[in-house]
Amino acid sequence: MREIVVLSGKGGTGKTSIVGSLAALAKDKVLADCDVDAADLHLLLKPSLKEKTEFWSGQTAVIDEEKCTRCGLCQELCRFDAIKDYTVDPVACEGCGFCFHICPVDAIAMEENLSGHWFIADTKYGPLVHARLGIAQENSGKLVAQVRQKARQIAQERNLDYILSDGPLGIGCPVISSLSGANAALLVTEPTLSGIHDLERVLGVCRHFGVTAEVCINKYDLNEENTRRIEGYCADQGISVAARIPFDNAVTEAMVRGKPVVEYASGRVSQEIEKLWDGISGIRS
């Protein structure tokens, strides 16, 4: 079984649209939406929900007004400035428990956080594990780990070849969590200066965690000079460019109809995405 994570660093490069199409092309796989912060893959795959599970993670301090003697020690020691006027601001609280341990009259309790939900669903392309981080919650990395663990379990039980995962944006905690221990990463970029800058950073993270990466340049014809720059950069880095996909409004039209573009249009975009799937056979096996 191989786990392939699709990342982009920067948003809006078309990562999820590409994952949706790869989902339609790949056989025998489980899909994992690790973009738990703003999950969109389900909009293309029309899942039917099988299982919904609460995700409890982390804690928040709560001060019992009756017991509190207003000594102010917690306020002074909390490094996250989460306590003001003897009440805890749940948004600022990191759940470290320092205040709980030092309160001289035991007025502080630590309460568990309901940080989100994760789901198992069926789609016509195979099983999908996805999640929804609660609004303004922390611990997205742990929720990603949960999604991956479940996806792996399903892949093992059903003897599937792949875990295809739609990764989170950025380079921080959830990205690291989606990447560590995966077999390969496909990095979707676009020929803009921002796209190039972010590609370099996300590639750095892949390197840091020893994950092999290949690149896909989406909307390559938006700026062919920048496309050549990306190709040059990848060549210097010894990274292969698996595909160049043209810009086409069909991608958005397919999204509006809730379909992967390869099932909506047969033009060049779809042909190039098919080539992409063949092109990454190296990191697929």
Partner 1 sequence: MIIAVASGKGGTGKTLVATSLALSLKDSRKVRLLDCDVEEPNAHIFLRPVITGKEAVCIQVPKVDEKKCTYCGKCAEVCAYNALAVLPDRVLVFPELCHGCGACSYLCPEEAISEQGRETGVVEWGNADGIEFVQGRLTVGEAMAPPVIRRVKEQADGNGVVIIDIPPGTSCPVVEAVKDSDFCLLVTEPTPFGLNDLVLAVETIRQLGIPCGVVLNRAGVGDNKVEEYCRKENIPIMLTIPLDTEIARLYSKGITLAEGMPQWRESFGQLFDSIKETVDERNRSLKR
Kindly list the residues in this chain that would bind partner 1 in the complex (CB under 8 A): 9-13, 16, 37-38, 40, 43, 59, 77, 79-80, 91-92, 94-98, 101-102, 133, 135-138, 140-141, 168-177, 190-194, 197-198, 201, 204-205, 208-209, 222-223, 226, 249, 252, 255-256, 258
Q: Among 28, 49, 65, 97, which residue sits at the site for ligand SF4 (rule: CB under 6 A)?
A: 97
Select from 97-105, 142-150, 212-220, 235-243 the region that touches ligand SF4 (CB under 6 A): 97-105
Per CB under 6 A, 164 contacts ligand SF4: no
- List residues bridging with 128 in a β-sheet: 31, 121
Q: Biggest alpha carbon distance in the chain?
A: 71
Quick one: 158 or 208, whose CB is closer to partner 1?
208
Q: Among 94, 161, 221, 274, which residue sits at the site for ligand SF4 (rule: CB under 6 A)?
A: 94
Residues 6+ apart with CB under 8 A from 148: 3, 32, 34, 163, 165, 177, 178
- CA-CA distance, 128 to 80, in Å (whole number)? 37
Q: Among 9, 20, 58, 95, which residue sits at the site for ligand SF4 (rule: CB under 6 A)?
A: 95
Interface positions, 220-239, toward ligand SF4 (CB under 6 A): none
Amino acid (one-letter) located at 256: V
> For the chain, what percentages of helix, strand and coil (3-state, to nearest 5) are there?
40, 25, 35
Select from 94-102, 158-166, 210-218, 254-262 the region that touches ligand SF4 (CB under 6 A): 94-102
CA distances from 131 to 31, 41, 96, 180 (A): 12, 11, 25, 19
- CA-CA distance, 70 to 23, in Å (whole number)? 57
Positions touching ligand SF4 (CB under 6 A) are: 61, 78, 80, 82-83, 88, 93-99
